[in-house]
Amino acid sequence: MGLTSDEVLALAVLSGVLLFAGTVWLWPRLARRTWRVVIGGVVLLFATQLAVFAAVGLVANQSFGFYGSWADLFGRENGQGVVVDHSADEPADGECVDVPRGPQTETFFAKDLPQAVSAHYRVERGTGNWGIVGNSTGGYCALKLALHHPDVYAAGAGLSAYYDAPSDPTTGDLFQGDEGRKNRADLWWYLKNLPAPETSLLVTSSKSGETNYKDTWKFIERVKDRKPTRVSSIILESGGHNFNTWRREIPATLRWLGERLEGRGRGPADGPSDGPADGPAGGQVAGSTGGSVGEDGSVEMILK
């Protein structure tokens, strides 16, 4: 329990009250003149006053912030300060967008990263041998990259994804007034107005706990009408927008991804028909973020 926690304060107050009540209750017995009684009375009075002063001190410390921790109170806090330059430009949430006169995040994932990995690792160089997985913002990025660049990403899985790029203080002005870029980043608009690409998508949500549940079903219906794009889903009974939910979805997601990438670059894949991606999962993941290269040369990238 920390020095400034309510639990410590409550314990000190409770101790003071109990010791005070005990002193009042035992006081008639403490009137005796034996040395044991005298010592007991002194100890009881000292403990009562100590508890009362501790409670008062904790209240004052919470109000004025004299000490932030036990180590600080006893002079053992030795962590050094770090200077942060707040005048520097802070990174923004780029939503995997090529921002005019700004970061070219979509180009990085669609072109620069595959070229860099292919230059250093033995990966399949055929069309559509990469898969991409992301959660939340990363889920939106994964779906968008699979739709925009099916020649690179043959499969994209969005765990708890949303389906268009938000505009808020964390993103800044991503499109600089360019309606074409804004529309292209909106997956609803993209699927309605542009030719459907040959790629596979996986979306996830939960009936209780996720805010994207209704949008996810709408997205599934939209994609189902846009052949040859394929869509699968993982729908949990309950699960919030957090890593515990995504850990439950990742095994089936990786199994689905492996099926979609199997045999890419050497001929048509003979994977199962699209539908809910459930059931036992195979394979292992080394690390919580990054990627892996399959035995067939396929590449799976995981975005956080």
Task: Give the structural domain span for 57.
Answer: 6-73
Percent of all residues in the chain with a pLDDT value above 70, rounded to a whole number: 77
80: in domain: no
Q: For the segment 45-54, what is each residue's pLDDT rounded down to a tens digit?
A: 888 888 888 8
- Dist CA 95 CA 92 (whole Å): 9
38: in domain: yes
24: in domain: yes
Is residue 67 domain-shared with residue 110, that is, in the same domain?
Answer: no
User: Which of 49, 73, 97 is where one domain is finished?
Assistant: 73
Q: For the segment 136-173, what is each residue's pLDDT rounded down to a tens digit?
A: 989 999 999 999 999 999 999 999 998 987 776 666 67
Q: What's the helix, strand, coil split of the chain in %, to 5?
A: 45, 15, 40
State the pLDDT at residue 171: 66
Q: How confident is the model at residue 189 (pLDDT cuts 50, 70, 90)?
A: very high
- Give the number of domains in the chain: 2
In 3D space, the residue among 189, 185, 144 whose CA is nearest the CA of residue 165 turns out to be 185
* E strand or H helix at 204: strand 200-208
State the pLDDT at residue 91: 52
User: Does the pLDDT value for residue 253 go beyond 90?
Assistant: yes
**One-letter amino acid for residue 8 of the chain:** V
Is residue 41 domain-shared with residue 132, that is, in the same domain?
Answer: no
Is residue 132 domain-shared with residue 234, that is, in the same domain?
Answer: yes
Is residue 24 domain-shared with residue 164, that is, in the same domain?
Answer: no
CA angle 293, 289, 95 (to 5 degrees): 110
28: in domain: yes
Is residue 17 domain-shared with residue 128, that is, in the same domain?
Answer: no
Is residue 33 domain-shared with residue 164, that is, in the same domain?
Answer: no
Is residue 294 domain-shared with residue 200, that is, in the same domain?
Answer: yes
State the pLDDT at residue 87: 52
Is residue 154 domain-shared with residue 233, that is, in the same domain?
Answer: yes
**pTM recorded for the entire structure:** 0.60
15: in domain: yes
89: in domain: no
State the pLDDT at residue 26: 77
User: Which of 22, 51, 73 is where one domain is finished?
Assistant: 73
Q: For the segment 265-276, what is each residue's pLDDT rounded down to a tens digit?
A: 543 333 333 444
37: in domain: yes
Pairing of strands 230-238, 290-293: unpaired
State the pLDDT at residue 35: 77
DSSP-assigned states of every residue in 247-274: HHHHHHHHHHHHHHHTTTTTS---PPPS
User: Does the pLDDT value for residue 74 go beyond 90?
Assistant: no
Pairing of strands 299-303, 130-135: parallel
User: Which of 32, 55, 73 is where one domain is finished?
Assistant: 73
